Structures are given as C-alpha cells and as structure tokens.
Structure 1
Amino acid sequence: MNEQNQGTERLLIRMESRSQNEAFARAAVGAFMVRMDPTVEEIEDVKTAVSEAVSNSILHGYPDEPGEIRMELLREGKRLRIEVTDYGRGIADVRKARQPLYTTCPGSDRSGMGFYFMEAFMESVDVESQPEQGTKVILTKTIGRR
C-alpha cells in the first residue's frame, strides 16, 4: 500500500440543483477516488450511488425551483465518506422513503429505487432529514479491500 492511501483529504462542492450537475457530481467523485487506487467496479459503484443521491436532491428536495446541493467528499486512508446535502423539502418519513418502489412521483418514469441502489453499492447509507429543512445522505465505503 502506498503512502497516499494513508492520508486524509477533503473536498467540498456546492452546486445548483440542476439535472446537468448530476453528471458533474459523478465526474468529481470519480476524480477524487483516483488517488485511492480503486478498481473500475468500485468507481462505478460509488458514482452510481452519488448519482442517485444527487438526483433525489434535485427531484425531491427542490421540485419547484432550484436550490443548493452540497457534496462533501472525505478520504481517510481507504475509507471514503460522501455527504450529499440539500436544504429543500425534506422527507417526512425516511423509513418509508427507503422502501423499494416507494416514490413521491407516481405516474412518472421514476422507479423509487434510489435508496435501494445506494445501499446496494455502498457499505452504509445513513439519511438525516427534517420536513422543510432538507436532507443529508451519508454514503461510506472502504476502497481497495483486496
């Protein structure tokens, strides 16, 4: 293991809740992970989870007008922690929202699988939310466990 994997790094990104910023968030997390010596599969897994978290903020946090999304990336050795925070509508019932196929957009092309995918690709997914105060999704994963 090289010395780069031992340190701590932090990156904070603030973006407007617009759909094109989902691709930016994916690219940023991929670039951030490079120094961790990840596998291609690990990069794709994390990018997918981040994409779901940012997409949820865009669609559900700010359904009527754009707002701010904050993405904080933290690396401590092989441990990656990502926080995606919005200050929008919030989630009234987090437990219910985490159930597969649950959606607040019935009749749309949304499947209600966002949290399910985040959980499938990350080691842990924590959700903190208050109605009308926003939501924070905390994603963690150990990179390069081989």
Structure 2
Amino acid sequence: MKSNQINLTFSSIAENVGIARLLIASVGAQLDLPLNDIEELKVAVSEAVSNAIIHGYHNIPNNLVYLDLDITGTTLRIVVKDRGCGISDVEQAMQPAFSTDPERMGLGFVFMQSFMDELQVESVLEEGTTVTMIKQFKQTPISSH
C-alpha cells in the first residue's frame, strides 16, 4: 500500500494560510481528486489553519502552526495543530455560527464537517488544539504510458 507523509511547520501569520492551501491543492491534484473536492479541501484546511492563528494564538505572529498530511491507500488524513490558548468548550465551538470573534461567521467547523468524512477536535486549555480531518478518496489506477 502506497503511503506518503508531509509535515509543514510555519509561523502563525495570515500569509501562511495561502501556503497551506497551495500544499493541500497540490496534494489533491496528485491524488487526481475532482476539482470540487480539491476546493473543499482548500476551504477545510484554510479554516483549520485560520482558527489556529486567529483563535489559538490571537493573531500573535511568533508562534508555530503544524500541518501534517498522511496519505495511506485511499485515506487522506490532515492534522492541524497549535500550541495556543485552547478551546474551553469544543462542542460549543463546533456549533454553527458560534464564534468568539464577532467579525467571524463561525462556520469554520461546519465547513470542515461537511467537506470531510471525519472531523475530530481535541483541545486542552493553555496547551493547544489539534484538528484531525479525514477524507476518503477513490484510488485512481496509475495509467501505464
């Protein structure tokens, strides 16, 4: 069974959301996913990374966000981790339209849930949050040219 792992660690600044999106888009393209699926992956990843930066670290730039991708067989596993303030009530945070920031729509987790096959959020106050997203995809036969 073919497997691939990619680990990216980057500063908690908004510009890096775009880099995370580019990475997941190129991985999606390599897996030959439909464009629609790639768009959904980009939204899910950028929401998770934005949450880490905006909520986990309160936009303080000198922190690190960890993005780990694991592709094994037909499973894509995406883990976004921060060592920020944590979420006091994960269940509440995952409710549609809940946000601690009045400027935000509070739909990040909703998008992640609807675009991914599985979503797990683990958080410990003052230790950080880990968001694990799993997407199943069809194995594309490798064409023999």
Is the structural similarity TM-score above 0.5?
yes
* Structure-2 residue corresponding to 1:10: 5
* Structure-2 residue corresponding to 1:123: 117
Task: Give me the identity figure in percent.
Answer: 39
Does the CA-based 8 Å contact 1:124-1:139 persist in structure 2? yes
Q: Secondary structure at the match of 1:82?
A: strand
Q: Given the alignment, which residue of 16, 22, 44 partners 2:17?
A: 22
* Structure-2 residue corresponding to 1:97: 93
Instruction: Note the residue ranges of structure 1 that are not aligned, 5 or more in a row.
Output: 1-5
* Structure-1 residue corresponding to 2:66: 70
Counterpart-to-counterpart distance in 1, 2:131 and 2:50: 12
TM-score by length of 2: 0.91
Does the CA-based 8 Å contact 2:13-2:59 persist in structure 1? no
Does the CA-based 8 Å contact 2:53-2:59 persist in structure 1? no
Q: Secondary structure at the match of 2:16?
A: helix
Instruction: Note the residue ranges of structure 2 that are not aligned, 5 or more in a row.
Output: 141-145
C-alpha distance after superposition, 1:68-96 (max 9, x if no partner): 00000000111100000000010010000
Q: Secondary structure at the match of 1:141?
A: strand
Does the CA-based 8 Å contact 2:53-2:60 persist in structure 1? no
TM-score by length of 1: 0.91
Deviation at 1:34, TM superposition (A): 2.5
Counterpart-to-counterpart distance in 2, 1:65 and 1:21: 13
* Structure-1 residue corresponding to 2:137: 143
**AA in 2 matched with 1:141:** K
Counterpart-to-counterpart distance in 1, 2:85 and 2:19: 23
Does the CA-based 8 Å contact 1:42-1:143 persist in structure 2? no
Deviating above 3 A after TM superposition, structure 1's stretches of 4 or more consecutive aligned residues are none
Does the CA-based 8 Å contact 1:54-1:84 persist in structure 2? yes
Task: Report the more deviating stretch, 32-41 or 22-31.
Answer: 32-41
